[in-house]
Amino acid sequence: MKACCHALKRLPDIHICVFALRMNCEATVKHLESSEDLQKPTDEESCEEEMDTSEAKWRWFYLAECGVWHMFEEVPSTGCSVTNEQIEQNYIKNQHASMDFYTAKYTYKLDFSAMKQVNVTTGKERPIKRALHSATDFRFICDNPALPVPSHWERVNTEEPYQLIALCRDTFEYKEVARLYERTMSQTIRSIQRVQNLDLWEFFCRKKAQLRKIKRVIDVEEKMLFHGTGHSNIQAICTYNFDWRLTGSHGDVYGKGSYFARDARYSSKFCHSTSKHNFILQRHGLAPPVFQSDPPYKCMFLARVLVGEYTLGHPQYCRPPSKDMSIANFFDSCVDDMMSPKIFVIFDSNQIYPEYLIEFY
Structure confidence at residue 24 (pLDDT): 45
- Does the pTM surpass 0.85? The reply is no
Residue 132 pLDDT: 85
pLDDT bracket for residue 268 (50, 70, 90): very high
* Residue intervals in the chain for CATH 3.90.228.10: 163-360
Residue 279 has pLDDT above 80, yes or no: no
The per-residue pLDDT for range 40-77, each reduced to its tens digit, is 444 444 444 444 445 678 999 988 766 677 888 887 76
Q: Where in the chain is the domain with CATH 3.30.720.50?
A: 2-133
* Bridge partners, 191 (sequence order): 359
Tens-place pLDDT, residues 26-43: 444 444 444 444 444 444
- pLDDT confidence bin for 139, thresholds 50/70/90: very low
Residue 129 pLDDT exceeds 80 = yes
Per the prediction, the chain carries an average pLDDT of 79
Which overall architecture, per CATH, does domain 163-360 show? Alpha-Beta Complex (3.90)
User: What's the confidence (pLDDT) of residue 210?
Assistant: 93
Q: Poorest-confidence range of 35-39, 242-246, 352-356?
A: 35-39
- In the prediction, which pLDDT does 102 show? 85
Rounded Cα–Cα distance for residues 169 and 192 (Å): 9
The architecture in CATH of the region 2-133 reads 2-Layer Sandwich (3.30)
Q: Quick check: 189 and 360 in contact, CB under 8 A?
A: yes
Cβ neighbours around 16 below 10 Å, total = 17
What average pLDDT does this structure show over 109-116? 94
